[in-house]
Chain A
Amino acid sequence: MVGIPSRHKSLVLLAGVIVLQVLLLAVQIKRDSQGRLLRVWTVGAVSPFQRAGVYGVGHLRDTWHHYFALQNTSRDNEQLRRENDTLKMQITQLQSKAAEADRLAMLLNFHKSHENVPMIGARVIGASAGTASQTIDLDRGERDGIRRNMGVITPDGVVGKVVEAYQNTSQVLLLTDKDSGVGAMLADSRIQSPVGGTGEPLLVMKYVANDDTVNAGERVVTSGMDRIFPRDLPVGTVAEIKPGNPFKMIRVRPAANLERLEEVIVLLTLRPLELKKAPEPVNPQSSATQSPAANAAGQAAVAKP
């Protein structure tokens, strides 16, 4: 047998190894096999290390991020806090503007639905300085056509009446003032009685006889008897009813939010008005039910301030 020279041994080995691997490739192609066994062994040997590596890297990363890489956290926190404050302020401003837009839209709708009634929108610019009276100041006055005793309302209901008109501003006595009053009636039973303020948030309906039936939650609307407000404007709802002598003590929750007024409508007329209103089912009994005492009190309320 002819021996291979030692300097060619590595070359022969190279050729042999390459041929073997080419055969391995050929076998894989021919049998469409992927040498699964060798792969399984190799992957099986390596995967525990990979798993350990992933576990270790995960812990290292957590440790780094949560303990060591915090040098910018304080700065980021401060910046985020500032951004948060700014955004909160912007949200508050936007909410305020949205609420104002809603209110103005309501005023506009009210104005459109009562185009025959001369009215003007006004912004509340101040309130009474003490607790002795319940008044608000408006940014419109005589120059805009506002005069004393004109009615002031919101789309929700009656607010009060103008007690003083200046050149550019005016003062309104709210319904809740103890000297205030409005000719009113119960919407369902049509029982008439003035509603006045007591200096507290709730109003009082004073002259309803004990025999008359009044239900809590019943709507109270203007009667038009005071010649300031047109009929059927919302005044409030009955909140409490107590028997009294000789009249019931009825407390009324104002329909308009008198504690948070920002825009109001001033009715620019001193003549009795009729507002358009949606047709309501007429209660034949109620229209006739009007106590004589209430009639007298209604007139009294008109003359009161």
Chain B
Amino acid sequence: MNDDTFDLRISESHIEVHKFHTGAIFATLVLALFIQAFVPVYFPKVAILDLPLLITVYFGLSRRNPSTGLLLGMAIGLVQDSLSGPTVPLGLYGIAKTVIGYLASSIGARLDTEHPAARFALTALFFGLHQGIIVLTRRILLAQPEPWFNLHLAIGAGVNAIVAVFLFLLLDRLRKPS
């Protein structure tokens, strides 16, 4: 797949693949990771946001290339693992975001995900799935007890989904005009 804009036609639907300005994806990733690691120092409640996840979902849905999506998710996840301290083994977020990147790209290639309601629902869904994969990894591979879901995570899903709606609108401005 090249970087040029092209259309996919599946089941009569018209799905557009978006291209971004040079360096936009990299800069966004770095900024998201930086904010994720820095802002909670001053505003601890911001830690409920998973900006790397939102970025993974957004670029997965926009680029609509599963290979790119999963590699992007892996890279973001591994960097997030690295920045999360020695209690988080490398690969924990990596695996979860790899799967999310792949799924977001795959879904983005089949559905129109430009509508805010669709973005809200997908983000909440991916947040839950992301958490599920982390819990699964911890329980099966690391033998660490972890709750599947609780109120805090439910609030996290809602907050991340709401933020995603506005963040995605902002990130839409980084797209090259088709």
A36: shortest Cβ distance to chain B, in Å?
9
Give the shortest distance, in Å, between B92 (CB) and chain A (any CB). Answer: 7
B90 in complex: contacting residue of A11, A38, A50, CB < 8 Å = A38
Rounded to whole angstroms, the CA-CA distance of A171 and B164 in the bound complex is 90
A42-B67 in contact given A34-B90, A50-B34 (Cβ < 8 Å) = no
Q: Which residues of B contact A38 (CB under 8 A)?
A: 78, 82, 90
Residues facing B in A189-243 (CB within 8 A) are none
Q: B residues within 8 A CB of A10? A: 65-67, 70, 102, 105-106
- Docked Cα-Cα span, A25 to B33, in Å, equals 22
**A76 to B: closest C-beta gap in Å:** 24
A183 → chain B closest CB, angstroms: 82
Q: Check: B163 CB closer than 8 A to any chain A CB.
A: no
Please tell me the number of chain B residues within 8 Å of chain A, measured between CB atoms.
31
Instruction: Indicate the size class of the contact surface on chain A.
Output: 20 to 34
Contact A18 B90 (CB under 8 A): no
For the A-B complex, the count of residue pairs with Cβ-Cβ distances under 8 Å equals 85
Do B90 and A13 have beta carbons less than 8 Å apart? no
Q: What is the bound-complex CA distance between A28 and B90, given in angstroms?
A: 8
- Asked if residues A24 and B99 are in contact (CB atoms below 8 Å), the reply is no
Would you call B82 and A25 a contact (CB within 8 A)? no
Complex formed: what's the CA distance from A46 to B38 in Å? Answer: 10
Q: Which of A14, A29, A39, A54 contacts B41 (CB 8 A)?
A: A54
Complex formed: what's the CA distance from A157 to B27 in Å? 89
B142 and A46 contacting across the interface, CB-CB below 8 Å: no
Does B141 lie within 8 Å of A42, measured CB to CB?
Answer: no
Q: Specify which chain B residues have a CB less than 8 angstroms from the CB of A28 in the assembled complex.
A: 89-91
Kindly state whether residue B17 has any CB partner on chain A within 8 Å. no
Contacts of A25 in B (CB 8 A): 89-92, 95, 137, 141-142
User: Are A57 and B33 also in contact (CB < 8 A) when A10-B66, A29-B89 are?
Assistant: no
Determine if A35 is an interface residue (Cβ-Cβ < 8 Å).
yes
**B contact residues around A39 at 8 Å (CB):** 82, 86, 90
Is A34 in contact with B86, judged by CB distance below 8 angstroms? yes
Determine if B67 and A13 form an interchain contact, defined as CB atoms under 8 angstroms apart. Answer: yes
A17 proximal to B (CB < 8 A): yes
CA distance A24 to B79 in the complex (A): 14
A17, B71: Cβ atoms under 8 Å?
yes
Which B residues touch A42, using CB under 8 A?
Answer: 79, 82-83
Whether a CB of chain A sits under 8 angstroms from the CB of B104 is no
Can you name the residue of chain A whose Cβ is closest to the Cβ of B95? A21
| A18 adjacent to B67 (CB under 8 Å) | no
* Complex Cα spacing A271 to B39, Å: 90
Which single residue of chain A is at the shortest CB-CB distance from B94? A21
B34, A49: Cβ atoms under 8 Å?
yes
Q: Taking the nearest CB of chain A, how far is it from the CB of B51, in angstroms?
A: 14
Question: Which residues of B from 26 to 80 have beta carbons under 8 Å from A?
Answer: 33-34, 37-38, 41-42, 65-67, 70-71, 74, 78-79
Q: Is the CB of B90 within 8 A of A46?
A: no
State the A residues within 8 Å of B (CB). 9-11, 13-14, 17-18, 21-22, 24-26, 28-29, 34-35, 38-39, 41-43, 46, 49-50, 53-54, 57
Closest 6 CB pairs of A and B: A42-B82, A10-B66, A21-B91, A35-B90, A25-B91, A10-B67
List 25 A-B pairs, Cβ < 8 Å.
A10-B65, A10-B67, A14-B70, A14-B98, A14-B99, A14-B102, A17-B74, A18-B95, A21-B90, A24-B91, A24-B94, A25-B92, A25-B137, A25-B141, A26-B141, A28-B91, A29-B141, A35-B82, A35-B89, A35-B90, A39-B86, A39-B90, A43-B83, A50-B34, A54-B41
